[in-house]
Structure 1
Amino acid sequence: MGNGRSASFWFDVWTPLGQLIMHLGPLGPRALRIRKDVVVADATRGSNWDLPHPRLQQEVALHSYLTTISLPLSTECDDMFEWIAGDSSLCTFRSATTWEVLRPREETKDWFDVIWLKGSVPKLAFTMWVANYDRLPTRTRLASWGVPISADCPICSRDLETRDHIFLSCDYSFEVWREVLIRCNPPTSRFTEWSELLSWIRAATSKELRLLRKLATHTVIFHLWKHRNNLIHNQTSLSVTTVFHSIDREMKNIISANRYRKSLCSLMALWLR
């Protein structure tokens, strides 16, 4: 607070009580006999505040604070407005700083770089994200919720349909992965757990190969889940060659659509065999 000639009495936050129009309510101007358009200096008269005797508790709180302000107000300095964002004050409003204070922040997840990346297709990344959390409605999860269905894998019928089985351990999925891994440098052993898949992605020897593995994994997970749903709901069974052809076409489209990105322009040469 400076000379009180620019700060609104009712609508600026110049007291710890916040906006006085909110503190005293819509009848506040009538109770204090102060118009809504006045500034703080208009509520003073010399070395006294020009306010009626308080009647309500809210008015008592305001009067208590006003006794801490020395009158008359200084004429040598102007009012200064600050935006308080968290523990810091700003001379001007910054939406970026306000957003950082408003949104909840957590530690960066160790899988973040595998799922959310530039150049990825949203629907593929979303399916990968849900699969990473093991939240896809596999038959074992549906059966655990009380749904009266068999928990066996609908593709091979040899094991329970869990996330790791449907995407990694199933013989059908393994054949799909075999075609993909030829283009991404295969691991030394077959994947059996989800953590092994994530480790293989991060173990790439170059930035380009790591990015290719991420995009390929997104695409494989999406199309395997799509094939599984078509088999259950539409009774449509596709060969491994057909599913891989869809994956191959999807990968070529992703790389072609991002051919002007520096990080993706060299991926086509790695993918083509």
Structure 2
Amino acid sequence: MRICDVFREGQWRFCRCRDRHIQSLVIEIRTFQLTLTDGRDEVLWKRGANDYGTKFNSSETWDQIMVHKETVLWSKIVWFPQGVPRFAFITWLAVKDRLATGHRSRRWGQPQHCLYCGEPDETRDHLFFVCPYTFTLWLKMVGNLFGTDPDPDWDITLSTVLSRSYDRLTFILLRLVLQVTIYFIWREHNDRKHGTSNKTVEQLANLIDKIVRNRISCTKYTLNPRLQGLMIRWFAAHDTAH
């Protein structure tokens, strides 16, 4: 129904209705001051407070309906342009401690242990990176990107990434290798749980290294002045690690 069909000669003209909800709506509409022009009705999209336009813009519409919350510090670790969505998603779950570790599964009546070292209480913090297997893997993958000896503590690891001052290339690689390592530790964990894998640290390290190098290549770093030297920095980070 068009507005001009129910608003004629300066008056609202609605059909009678017994529905209380519609009656309440009609009362609200009647209190709205409306002046019609000779122009045609048109759809306007809200772009901001008291700002409307004729063209639809997805980002502006999303900004209107989304719930705005304060940006958390760890968002820089999870979301960045060179990241990969599937790695970022698992990292986000890890940061929120929402991965179905043995510690959480125990609450559901499914007692489990660490599938890497046998630790009875398999928590998020144990997997990343207190477990001897995963910490050994992390040491191999991070190389000298930290600029100091990595700590197996989860909170210290995140705090170090966020608080220290790194050059652009190092910061990109540090976040990327952290995400890829978390992802493949978790995937190997699930594969072992279902008896389909039992990779050594060296095998998993080679797989992670390949994925990181492939991702670096996909950024077309040689064509981007801000990313030039990204692959060289990755290789340099591991020259002293082997």
**TM-score after normalising by structure 1:** 0.69
The more displaced of 217-226 and 196-205 is 196-205
2:122 pairs with 1:131: no
Tell me what 1:4 maps to: none
Describe how 1:124-273 pairs up with structure 2 within 5 A.
Answer: 124-147=87-110, 149-150=111-112, 152-188=113-149, 190-192=151-153, 194-202=154-162, 203-234=164-195, 236-259=197-220, 260-272=223-235, 273=239
In structure 2, the CA distance between the partners of 1:82 and 1:153, relative to structure 1 (3 Å rule), is closer
Tell me what 1:99 maps to: 62
- For the residue of structure 2 that corresponds to 1:214, the secondary structure is helix
In structure 2, the CA distance between the partners of 1:56 and 1:162, relative to structure 1 (3 Å rule), is closer
- Supply the distance in 2 between the matched residues of 1:191 and 1:240 (Cα, whole angstroms): 16
- Supply the distance in 2 between the matched residues of 1:266 and 1:110 (Cα, whole angstroms): 27
- Supply the distance in 1 between the matched residues of 2:188 and 2:68 (Cα, whole angstroms): 37
Describe how 1:42-121 pairs up with structure 2 within 5 A.
Answer: 43-44=8-9, 65=30, 78-79=38-39, 83=44, 85=46, 87-90=49-52, 92-95=54-57, 96-121=59-84
Residue type of the alignment partner of 1:172: Y
- For the residue of structure 2 that corresponds to 1:205, the secondary structure is coil
- Supply the distance in 1 between the matched residues of 2:197 and 2:16 (Cα, whole angstroms): 78
In structure 2, the CA distance between the partners of 1:235 and 1:184, relative to structure 1 (3 Å rule), is same
Residue type of the alignment partner of 2:156: E
The more displaced of 110-119 and 213-222 is 110-119
Deviations 1:145-197 (Å, cap 9, x if unpaired)? 222x23x21111135211111120011111111112324135345221x2211
Tell me what 1:34 maps to: none
In structure 2, the CA distance between the partners of 1:49 and 1:253, relative to structure 1 (3 Å rule), is closer
Tell me what 1:11 maps to: 2
Q: Contact conserved, 1:176 with 1:240, CA < 8 A, in 2?
A: yes
More helix as a share of residues: 2
In structure 2, the CA distance between the partners of 1:262 and 1:160, relative to structure 1 (3 Å rule), is farther
Residue type of the alignment partner of 1:177: W
**TM-score after normalising by structure 2:** 0.77
In structure 2, the CA distance between the partners of 1:83 and 1:121, relative to structure 1 (3 Å rule), is same
- For the residue of structure 2 that corresponds to 1:90, the secondary structure is strand
> Paired residues, what number?
223
Structure 2 residue runs without a partner (length 5+): none
Larger Rg: 1
- Supply the distance in 1 between the matched residues of 2:224 and 2:188 (Cα, whole angstroms): 31
Percentage identity across paired residues of the two chains: 25
- Supply the distance in 2 between the matched residues of 1:189 and 1:247 (Cα, whole angstroms): 18
Report the CA distance between 1:78 and its aligned residue.
Answer: 5.0
Residue type of the alignment partner of 1:89: D
